[in-house]
Amino acid sequence: MANSSIFFSDFKSGRCSSTVQVRFLQIAPVLGAINVRCGGELMGVDMLLLDSEATMMVATMNVNRLATYMPNAFKALM
């Protein structure tokens, strides 16, 4: 697959079956959603993503997918 630049402003809102691969430049700060009813169990992680045009996009990742897609971040959060 060729490297082509696509910016967040090119995306449309809503669900799709496509996958986007991004490179993390900085992983902190990350906001975690905590379930206080289950003893403070981590439920998910909210991230702010910026592209080279400074377009901001909010992303949420379920805790069950953290180990797969962000193994180093998963260790830091736990």
pTM over 0.85: no
Exposure b/e, 18-28, CB count within 10 A at least 16 = b? eeeeeeeeeee
The one-letter code for the residue type at 29 is P
Q: What is the mean pLDDT of each run of 10 residues along the chain (78 residues)?
A: 67 72 58 68 75 76 74 58
pLDDT value of position 57:
76
Q: Provide the pLDDT for residue 7.
A: 74
Residue count of the chain: 78
Q: According to the 3-state scheme, what is the secondary structure of the chain?
A: CCCCCCCHHHCCCCCCCCCCCCCCCCCCCCEEEEEHHHCCEEEEEEEEEECCCCCEEEEEEEHHHHHHHCHHHHHHHC
